[in-house]
Amino acid sequence: RLAGCTVFITGASRGIGKAIALKAAKDGANIVIAAKTTQAHPKLPGTIYTAAEEIEAVGGKALACAVDVRDEQQISNAVEKAVERFGGIDILVNNASAISLTNTLETPTKRVDLMMNVNTRGTYLTSKACIPYLKKSKIAHILNLSPPLNLNPLWFKQHCAYTIAKYGMSMCVLGMAEEFKGEIAVNALWPKTAIYTAAMDMLGGSGIESQCRKVDIIADAAYSIFKKPKSFTGNFIIDENILREEGVKNFDVYAVKPGHPLLPDFFLEEHPDTITKKAESHGAVPELKKEKLQPPPKPRSGAVEETFRIVKDSLTDDVVKATQAIYQFELSGEDGGTWFLDLKSKGGTVGCGAPSDQADVVMSMSTDDFVKMFSGKLKPTMAFMSGKLKIKGNMALAIKLEKLMNQMNARL
């Protein structure tokens, strides 16, 4: 159905952007890969050239353009090349995005600028550059990978800068859908659950994939949107919802691990606690049900000390070498106080009180949640999303700790 159509996709060298590209390419579409990666990244797979090879292998035509969406000239150059090569642009997918789930005081200005310039400004400028050509198309779609505008303050509380930047993409939908009504369909697409990508792997840590769906669900949802007429505009679409409307009933095919509870995505619930309840109803965090029905149980006497003892016994030189971080825990409640886990010193050390050197990461939570987190009963991602866990410092090192927790779950 998209044979001969030209689809311009930002951030298409990997993940969701590439999945959308491959879906359209199977119809014989022309794909413009507008992304930054021209050389292989040590942690993130794929370049604009490897993506182009995959696109052509499934029947599409590809044009690889090195584009940093923060650079207006690079966007303009890519649009000109696309029009010169394929004769126009029929669909624009604004997928490129930057993320930092850090609070106001822990988000460096450089990171704020990155998120604002890639997410909001990049989406705006790429749309602006493509609109003159989209107006000439019979298909004429702009699709932004951004969430519904949920203004509950709790979605701003933990990561204000990221929310503002992401909502900027959604506000482009709101404004441009009205501005170009009848000429261009402008919509947003957002997943109902976490989607497993290289970025999610870095954010969620080891084991997160079992709580995610594959990128295929977003690609299929985007394809459904592209089939809609220009009058279908100004919508904030959830992937599962549109596919249900298309007649899809079996969503297990999209799960990385069918049957495993899925992690709900950001911005979809009125209150993060609702996410916890919903996950709990699917068996993700069954212990939380008891907490809602009765007062939270007090941690066992010395539970924190016992947890740290087991952690200490589990440490090896290899773990220390692989982690290279100092963690400080500010625990409230019985058996609480300040504790530390030093994974920089030889062999690793743990103890009560502040570490001798400055901590790379400070985690604040209740003693009960601390014990649950280290024993695998409470996922750190879920704890962070619901506000049970507050993190200051290096998020990448915080994620490393989750991998260590997974190794210790059985013993704890």
Q: What is the per-residue pLDDT across 96-111, written as a single tens digit (0 to 9) for each?
A: 999 998 999 999 999 9
Domain assignment of residue 296, yes or no: no
Domain assignment of residue 290, yes or no: no
Domain assignment of residue 298, yes or no: no
Q: What average pLDDT does this structure show over 53-63?
A: 97
Instruction: Write out pLDDT tens, residues 351-375.
Output: 888 888 899 889 998 888 888 888 8
124, 133, 162, 167: the catalytic one is 162
d(CA 17, CA 8): 10
Report CA Rg, the chain: 23
**Is 162 known to be catalytic?**
yes
Same domain, 397 and 350: yes
Instruction: Write out pLDDT tens, residues 117-145.
Output: 999 999 999 999 999 999 999 999 999 99
Q: From the CB of residue 327, how many other CB atoms can be counted at a distance below 10 Å?
A: 23
Q: How many domains does the chain have?
A: 2
d(CA 34, CA 85): 14
Per the structure, the complete domain to which residue 139 belongs is given by: 6-271
Query: Is residue 76 exposed (0-12), middle (13-18) or buried (19+ Cβ within 10 Å)?
Result: middle
Strands 61-66 and 6-10: unpaired
Which domain CATH number covers 396?
3.30.1050.10
Domain assignment of residue 285, yes or no: no
| Most confident range, picked from 73-87, 94-108, 377-391 | 73-87
Provide the β-strand partners of residue 63. 32
Same domain, 63 and 183: yes
d(CA 268, CA 271): 9
Question: Residue 270: its pLDDT value, please?
Answer: 44
Which domain CATH number covers 36?
3.40.50.720
Q: Which of 96, 105, 97, 201 has its CA nearest to residue 158?
A: 105
Q: Please give the backbone phi and psi of residue 189, each rounded to the nearest 5 degrees, phi first.
A: -130, 135
Residue 215 scores a pLDDT above 70: yes
Q: Which helix (H) or strand (E) holds 64?
A: strand 61-66
